[in-house]
Amino acid sequence: MKNFDIENIRADFPILKREVNGKPLVYLDNGATTQKPKQVIDAIVNYYTQMNSNVHRGVHYLSQISTDAFEVTRRKAQALINAAYDHEIIITKGTTEAINIVATCYGRMFIEKNDEIIISAMEHHSNIVPWQMLCEERGCKLRVIPMNEQGELDQQAYKSMFSDRTKLVSVTYVSNALGTINPIKEMIDVAHQYEVPVFVDGAQAIQHIAVDVQELDVDFFAFSGHKMYGPTGVGVLYGKERLLNAMPPYQGGGDMIKDVTFEKTTYNDLPFKFEAGTPNIEAGICLGDAIDYINAIGLAEIQAYEEELLNYAVVRLSEVEDIRFIGTASHKSSVISFVVGDIHPYDIGVILDKLGVAVRTGHHCAQPVMEQFGIPGTVRVSLAMYNTKEEVDILTAALKRAVDMLR
C-alpha cells in the first residue's frame, strides 16, 4: 500500500474533524453514503462560481465549458469501468434510476407474459421492486436465488433456474446488508450460456473493487456517485451498445430528440436518448472529481487497506458478549452486520450515536434478508478508506458500553 497515506486521506475530508454530541465523529455509515473530500467540495463551488450554465444547448462560453466538463466525466466513468465506448455511459440520478430504466425500457421491449427474471435473496429493495412492478404489468415471473446461513448465494440452485423463459438476471455485486461479494463473473458466464443478459448492481462495489465491464462481459452495470465520495443525485448506467440501441427511451423531453414535429419525433443517438431534460449538471461534473480522487489513491490500494481494516474490526467486535454476526461469507467487502443478544438494533444505534459513533440500524432496505435470518434488523458497520483501526477500537468500546447499559 505504497500510495496509501491514511492521515493525508483523512485530512481531505473536512467533516471528519467535527464533533457529534461532544465526541469526535466516528463515521461508519458509508454503505448509506460516503463523505466528500475537499477536492469534490471545491469542485462544486467552482462549478457554481465559474461555469454555471445548461449543457448540450448553448453556443455561449459558459454553456460550452459546462458541456465539456460534463462530457469529461462521461469519459472518466468509461475509463473507470473500462467500457468500450463513452456513449455506453448514461448519466443517471443513481443506481435506483438505472435499474428502473432497464426494467422499463428493456423489460417492456423484450419481456413478455410468463417470462422469468432472476434476482437474488440478498437484493436491495431497489433491485426487487422495479422487477415486481414489471411482473405485475407484463404478467412475467420473478425467481429468487436462495441464500445460505453464511449469506452466500446457492450457485447450484442458480444454475438450475434457467429455461427458455429466462429473459434477464439482475443481481448485486456486493450486498449492502451483508457485505458478501458475489462471484459475478461466474454468474454472468452461466447466464450467457443461455443467451440471457445480466444486470449488475454495483452501488456497493465501485468504491471498493476494481471493475472491468468488458472483462466481466456484463450487459448492464450501475453505480451511484454518493457512495464513492461524490455528490448525491448522480450515477451511471452502463449498457452494451447493441442493447441500449435496441431499447426505447425512458423519458421524453429535451436533449433526447433529434427532430420533433407534431407528426413524429426522431430520437437522439446514445447516450442522449436516455438523458431527457436538464441533468444534475453540478453533480455530473463533480462525479468526475470523485473518480479522479479514487484513481489518485488506487482501487487496489483501497481494497487492500479496507480488507485489513475489515478483518481487524471482526476480531475486535468478537470481544462483545452475545454478538451474532449476520453474513459470514468467505468473500466480503467493508460491511459488518450484527445483533447482540435480544437487544433491539435501534437501541444500540441510539447509544452509539450519543458516543459519537455513526452506524446504520434497521433492515437496510433489504427486508427479505432480515426475514431469512429471523430478525427485525441489524446494526451495520460499513467501512471506507478513511476509517482507522483507532476508530474500530472506539466503536468496540462504545458497543460494549451500550450493551452493558441495555442489559
CATH number at residue 350: 3.90.1150.10
Residues 274, 375: one domain?
no
Given a cut of 80, whether residue 260 has pLDDT beyond it is no
In a domain, 234, yes or no: yes
Residue 395 in grid coordinates: 466503536
In a domain, 115, yes or no: yes
Residues 15, 56: one domain?
no
In a domain, 36, yes or no: no
End residue of a domain, out of 275, 295, 315: 295
Does the active-site annotation cover 286?
no
Dihedral sign computed on CA atoms, order 12, 18, 20, 25 = positive
Which residue range(s) make up the domain with 366? 6-30+298-406
Residues 281, 304: one domain?
no
Residues 206, 112: one domain?
yes
Residues 288, 331: one domain?
no
Collapsing DSSP to helix, strand or coil, 374 comes out as: coil
- Return d(Cα 74, Cα 246) in angstroms, integer: 21
Residues 240, 151: one domain?
yes
pLDDT at 268: 75
Mean pLDDT of all residues in 355-375: 94
Mean pLDDT of all residues in 71-92: 98
Of 105, 140, 286, 365, which residue is the catalytic one? 365
Residues 250, 336: one domain?
no
- Whether residue 305 contacts residue 4, with contact meaning beta carbons closer than 8 Å, is answered with yes
Cβ neighbors of 317 (< 8 A, separation 6 or more) are: 323, 325, 336, 338, 381, 392, 395, 396, 399
CA angle 229, 280, 236 (to 5 degrees): 55
Give the C-alpha distances (Å, rounded to integers) separating 330 from 150, 326, 378, 383.
Answer: 8, 13, 20, 17
pLDDT at 375: 95
Residues 257, 376: one domain?
no
End residue of a domain, out of 295, 322, 353: 295
pLDDT at 1: 54
Residues 303, 355: one domain?
yes
Number of domains in the chain: 2
Residues 241, 350: one domain?
no
User: For residue range 95-106, what is the model confidence (pLDDT) as tens digits?
Assistant: 999 999 999 999
Least trusted range by pLDDT, from 126-130, 231-235, 310-314, 367-371? 367-371
Cβ neighbors of 196 (< 8 A, separation 6 or more) are: 118, 162, 166, 167, 168, 169
Cβ neighbors of 300 (< 8 A, separation 6 or more) are: 210
- Return d(Cα 381, Cα 358) in angstroms, integer: 9
Give the C-alpha distances (Å, rounded to integers) separating 242 from 88, 112, 170, 224.
Answer: 9, 20, 18, 23
Given a cut of 80, whether residue 169 has pLDDT beyond it is yes
CA angle 52, 267, 265 (to 5 degrees): 110
Given a cut of 70, whether residue 288 has pLDDT beyond it is yes
Residues 311, 174: one domain?
no
Mean pLDDT of all residues in 14-18: 98
End residue of a domain, out of 250, 270, 295: 295
Count the Cβ atoms, other than its own, within 10 Å of residue 57.
13
- E strand or H helix at 401, and its extent? helix 389-406
Does the pTM surpass 0.85? The reply is yes
Give the C-alpha distances (Å, rounded to integers) separating 37 from 14, 71, 226.
Answer: 7, 22, 12
Given a cut of 70, whether residue 2 has pLDDT beyond it is no
Check which CATH number belongs to the domain holding 146 and give it.
Answer: 3.40.640.10
User: For residue range 290-342, what is the model confidence (pLDDT) as tens digits?
Assistant: 999 999 999 999 999 999 999 999 999 999 999 999 999 999 999 999 999 99
pLDDT at 178: 97
Residues 313, 271: one domain?
no
Given a cut of 80, whether residue 40 has pLDDT beyond it is yes
